[in-house]
Amino acid sequence: MNSRATQDAYAPRPEHHFTFGLWTVGNPGRDPFGEQVRPAIPPTRIVEKLAELGAYGVNLHDNDLVPRDAGAAERDRIVNEFKEVLEATGMRVPMATTNLFSDPAFRDGAFTSNDPRVREYAVQKAMAAIDLGVELGAETYVFWGGREGVETNAAKDPCAALGWYRDALNFLCEYVRSQGYQLKFALEAKPNEPRGDIFLATTGHMLAFIYSLDHPEMVGLNPEVAHEHMAGLDFTHAVAQALEAGKLFHIDLNAQKPGRFDQDLRFGSEDPKAAFFLVKLLEDAKWPGMRHFDSHAYRTEDEEGVWDFAAGSMRTYLILKEKVAQFNADSEIQGLLQEIAARGGATDSRLVFSPERVQELRSASLDLESIRQDGYAYERLDQLTMEVLLGVR
Ligand code: DIG
Ligand code: MN
Ligand code: MN
C-alpha cells in the first residue's frame, strides 16, 4: 500500500467524501483484446482496504455484490456479510445503481429495447437493485444507460425509444414514492461505447430530458469527466450547468485523453488544468456531494497497483484543492479578477427588465471606441494560473 499517502497534508479522510465503486478498484483488467490480468478482489476486502486508505464509502451495481443468478437465501447471506464489514469499518454506501448492460438480454438496450419483455426485465431488475441500495443506505441512485442506443438508426425510431426511456424512469420514480424511499435519481450521460451511439449523449441532453419526466424534482445528474471529454466538451461547463440548475446530485471523477474510447483513467492524470478548474468549481461552491472515482488502474497493474491508483486519485484531488486555495489567495491573480469585475465602473451588471431600464438602455451613450480597444489581460491571468499549477508561485 502507498504508505506515503497516510502521512502528509494530502492524506484523505472520510470527511473528504471520497468514494469508489466496487467495480472500479475491483476491475480485473479485462479489455476487448485481453483476458483479466488480476484476480477478483472480494467486496469485503475492497471495503476494508478503501477504509484503510481514508475513503468515505463504496458504491455498487446490484451484481457487483449479488450474482445475477443468486437465490434469495444466498442474496441475504451476501448482503448481511457486506453489512458487517460496513459496520466494522464505518464505510458508507452513498450511491447504488443497476447493471443494465452485462446480461445478453440487454444487447438491444434495457429501457429502450425493441422487445417489451426486455423493458419489463430491466424495470424488474432495477426495482430489486433499488431495494438493495436502500437497504445498504444509499441516498442517490444512478442510471447510466450504457446500452440505450443503436448501431443503426434502422433499428428503432429514436422518438419511440425516448418514450420508453421516459416510461421506465417515470415508473421507477413512482415505485420509489410508493415505497417511501428517500432516494434521488442521478442520470449519467455518455455519447457512445458500448453502443455505436447512446441516446441522451451528454449531460446537457440529460438535463433537458429530466424536465420531460413526471417527477423532475426527484431526478438530477451524475456527470462523468471521461464521457463529456469523449464528446469534446468542457467538463467544468457541464458540471456548472448541473450545479446552477440544482441538479448536481452525484459526480464521476476520472481522466481521459481526447478522441479515445472511455479510458476511465486516474483522476487528474491526463488533464491537470481541467481537473483544477473542476475542483475549483466544486470547492468554491462548497458542493457537499460525494467525490466518486469511476475509474480503474492500468491493466499493467497488480493488486498493489490498484491501491496506488485509489490512493493517487484521492491525493491528486487534495493537491488540486490546495492549488485552488493558493489561486484564491494569490494577490496578483485576485487583483486581475477584481479589475475584470470592475469593468464598466458603476454600470449595473444585472439586466433586469423594467420600462425604466428600457429607457436607460435606449439613451445610454456607450464609449464604443474604448470598449473596442480594451484588452482583458487573460494571457497574464492564465499564465499566473499555470504558474500556480506548475508550483513556481
Ligand atoms: C460507467 O461510467 C457507469 C457505470 O460504471 C455505472 O453505472 C455508473 C455509476 O457511476 N457509471
Ligand atoms: Mn466512463
Ligand atoms: Mn460513470
Task: Give the model confidence (pLDDT) of 32-41 as tens digits.
Answer: 999 999 999 9
pLDDT at position 278 over 90: yes
Q: Which ligand has the minimum distance to the alpha carbon of residue 145?
A: 1
pLDDT at 7: 59
Mean pLDDT for the stretch of residues 333-341? 96
Has residue 116 got a pLDDT over 80?
yes
CA-proximal residue: ligand 1, atom 11 (nearest) = 144
Percent of the chain with pLDDT over 70: 98
Q: How far is the CA of 1 from the centre of ligand 1 (A)?
A: 26
Atom of ligand 1 nearest to the CA of 264: 2
- Residue 367 Cα to ligand 2 middle (Å): 49
pLDDT at 222 over 90: yes
pLDDT for the residue 2:
47
pLDDT at 345: 78
- Given a cut of 90, whether residue 292 has pLDDT beyond it is yes
Measured in Å, residue 188 CA sits from the centre of ligand 3 at 7
Q: Is 224 close to ligand 1, i.e. is its CB under 6 Å away?
A: yes
Ligand 1 near 144 CB (within 6 A) = yes
The CA distance from 40 to 306, in Å, is 12
**Residue with the nearest Cα to atom 9 of ligand 1?**
142
Cell 478522441 -> residue: 259
Q: Is the CB of 97 under 6 A from ligand 1?
A: yes
Task: Concatenate the DSSP letters of all residues of 60-125 into one string.
Answer: EEHHHHS-TT--HHHHHHHHHHHHHHHHHHT-B--EEE---SSSGGGBTBSTT-SSHHHHHHHHHH
pLDDT band at 5 (very low <50, low <70, confident <90, very high): very low
Predicted pLDDT of residue 4:
47
How far apart CA 212 and CA 145 sit, in angstroms, is 17
- Residue 224 pLDDT exceeds 50: yes
Q: Give the mutation target among 101, 103, 144 for probing the ligand 1 site: most ligand atoms within 8 A of CB.
A: 144
Is it the case that residue 185 has pLDDT exceeding 80?
Answer: yes
Output the CA angle 287-288-292, nearest 5 degrees: 95
**234 Cα–ligand 1 center, Å:** 19
CA of residue 228 to ligand 2 center, whole Å: 10
If you take atom 5 of ligand 1, which residue's CA is the nearest one? Answer: 294
Q: Ligand 1 in contact with 228 (CB < 6 A)?
A: no
Indicate if the pLDDT at residue 65 is higher than 80. yes
Mean pLDDT across the chain: 96
Q: How many Cβ atoms from other residues are within 10 Å of residue 127's Cβ?
A: 16
Is residue 313 predicted with pLDDT exceeding 80? yes
Residue 1 reports pLDDT greater than 50:
no
pLDDT of 358 above 90:
yes
The residues that are catalytic are 61, 64
Binning pLDDT at 50, 70 and 90, where does residue 300 land? very high
Q: How far apart are CA 343 and CA 212, in angstroms?
A: 40
pLDDT higher than threshold 70 for residue 21: yes
Summarize pLDDT for 367-389 with one digit per residue, the tens: 999 999 999 999 999 999 999 99
pTM of the model: 0.96
CA proximity to 307, closest of 26, 2, 3 = 2
Residue nearest (by alpha carbon) to ligand 1 atom 6: 144
For ligand 1, whether the C-beta of 252 sits within 6 Å is: yes
The answer, yes or no, to whether any atom of ligand 1 lies below 6 A from the CB of 294, is yes
Q: Taking residues 142-161, what's their average pLDDT?
A: 98
What the chain holds in terms of domains, given with CATH numbers, is 4-329 (3.20.20.150), 331-389 (no CATH)
